[in-house]
Chains A and B, each alone.
Chain A
Amino acid sequence: GDSVTQMEGPVTLSEEAFLTINCTYTATGYPSLFWYVQYPGEGLQLLLKATKADDKGSNKGFEATYRKETTSFHLEKGSVQVSDSAVYFCALSGSGAGRRALTFGSGTRLQVQP
């Protein structure tokens, strides 16, 4: 079945540092890939997505490129802020007929220190 593997956290960075959170996936066909963010005490919000190979999703300074050859969708940001502290989830939605529920990775907690 489909699966998503994320790097374990927590990731602790100083403000303005470069961020990478690794995400790899296993799925048949051509899944769509997502990054969601969960701020403390809140639900999940879509951060960015990519629906086909080589697509780059971007939002709020975050980027991720859909790499089919390495089955990866790593999240990057050039300069993190304290307000980026949250839990980040990589997810996929399969391309087959029928089920469309998201399969999530285990989440990576990011802590940004001033």
Chain B
Amino acid sequence: DTAVSQTPKYLVTQMGNDKSIKCEQNLGHDTMYWYKQDSKKFLKIMFSYNNKELIINETVPNRFSPKSPDKAHLNLHINSLELGDSAVYFCASSQALTGGTEAFFGQGTRLTVV
């Protein structure tokens, strides 16, 4: 019974295309996140939503647009894909906005732009 699930796991697409990655959590958490992991394994926060409200929006090109239809789902839409967007994208969730709260991660979506 997967806690945080992302689809697809792999995504290969051409430059200029638009693509979406979906994320769902069944933990009843209030907060969800998107992280980007580059080729050197460095992880950086992109967005965070709390109860469908955007609370963190890091310096990310506006080609990236998160959407949260309800607190169990946080999707990531990417317009006009570029080669530099190739990375692994991780969705995560946590219970609340407190510092000691553990984040649960999905398996990741490996995006390759060709």
Contact of A87 among B41, B44, B55, B100 (CB under 8 A): B41
Interface of B is mostly: strand
Q: Which of B45, B97, B105 makes the CB contact (< 8 A) with A43?
A: B105
**Cβ contact of A104, chosen from B42, B56, B100, B104, cutoff 8 A:** B42
How distant is A36 from chain B, measured CB to nearest CB, in Å?
Answer: 8
Interface residues on B, range: 20 to 34
Pick from A13-21, A68-76, A77-85, A95-103 the stretch touching chain B.
A95-103
Q: Which of B41, B97, B107, B108 contacts A100 (CB 8 A)?
A: B97
Q: Given A30-B99, A94-B99, A101-B48, output 17 extra A-B contacts at Cβ < 8 Å.
A: A32-B99, A36-B105, A43-B90, A43-B108, A44-B90, A44-B105, A46-B103, A46-B104, A49-B102, A51-B100, A95-B99, A99-B56, A100-B31, A100-B48, A104-B44, A106-B40, A107-B42
Binding site for B on A (CB under 8 A): 30-32, 34, 36, 38, 42-46, 49, 51, 87, 89, 93-95, 98-104, 106-107, 109
